[in-house]
Amino acid sequence: MRKAFALPTVAIAAAAFPLLAMSSASAHEGASSYQADLGALNQSGVSGTGMVTLDGNTATVMIEASGLLAGAPHAQHFHIGAAGTCPTAADNKDGDAFLSTTEGAAAYGAIGTSLTVTGDTSPDSGLAVDRFPTAEGGSLNYERTIEVTDDVHKAFEAGTAVLVLHGVDENGSGTYDGDVKSDLDPSLPMEATAPAACGALEVAQMGAAPAGGAETGAGSTSGIEAQGAIGVGALAAVGAVAAGAVAYRRRQADQA
């Protein structure tokens, strides 16, 4: 009896420590977190936040936004290759009712990644409306881990990556319609593709920066370490459960 109880403890320790060592050795070297505060374009009233963690070219993307046209799909992209900023009303060069996606490109650039719900995420899927999230009740809550291209990764590092959400109900009809056709696809109304919200992706300052920390990077570094610590805890817990199961089976075998 005494022996049977002692065994799991030893097994847990043996299982947990290699995991701890393994996890700290691969402590997400080079992972960086970015944040975009989404501001409205085209008087959409949209607000929200985008969070992106880049580990190599693996991007974990989280977007929360509200004030969107309810029940409608909203194309969303990382735009890259320009100023890394969001356009202003002055970028509405033709002075019509819309700041079009093309007019905004001087500020935020071309599509680098299509933030679809499933499947391809390349610029080819830029208008794959059936694979973009639908804003139920006007809100959108997106999370996906994807691979981005080297160009997109470099844009994040250069501070020229911008998160853009599309689709505005300019005429308040409750759906994408109107006489103005999209600059991107003339088979679609302009409302379906005009930018609704935009935020430059900047290095995130997660949590409180440690006292006396460096001006840049300290916040995000502490954030990454915190994530690592959570990971270690989770892995150790998994290890403990597995070890416990092994020990249990051994006890059962002994008794048999």
Q: Which residues bind Cu ion (CB under 5 A)?
A: 77, 164
Strands (E), 109-208: 110-114, 140-147, 162-166, 195-200, 202-203
Shortest Cβ distance from residue 195 to Cu ion (Å)? 7
Residue nearer to Cu ion on the CB measure, 83 or 236: 83
Residue nearer to Cu ion on the CB measure, 55 or 91: 91
What DSSP line would sit under 72-128, residue for residue?
SB--EEEEESS-SS---GGG-TT-SS---HHHHHHHH-EEEEE--SSS--SGGGTT-
Whole-number Å distance between alpha carbons of 112 and 115? 10
When CB distances to Cu ion are compared, the closest residue is 77
Residue nearer to Cu ion on the CB measure, 164 or 197: 164
Shortest Cβ distance from residue 104 to Cu ion (Å)? 8
Task: 12-21: list long-range contacts, CB under 8 Å, 24+ apart.
Answer: 12/239, 12/240, 12/243, 12/244, 14/243, 15/239, 15/240, 15/242, 15/243, 16/236, 16/239, 16/240, 16/243, 19/232, 19/235, 19/236, 19/238, 19/239, 20/232, 20/235, 20/236
Residue nearer to Cu ion on the CB measure, 72 or 164: 164
249: its two tokens: 């089976």
Residue nearer to Cu ion on the CB measure, 8 or 199: 199
Residue nearer to Cu ion on the CB measure, 109 or 219: 109
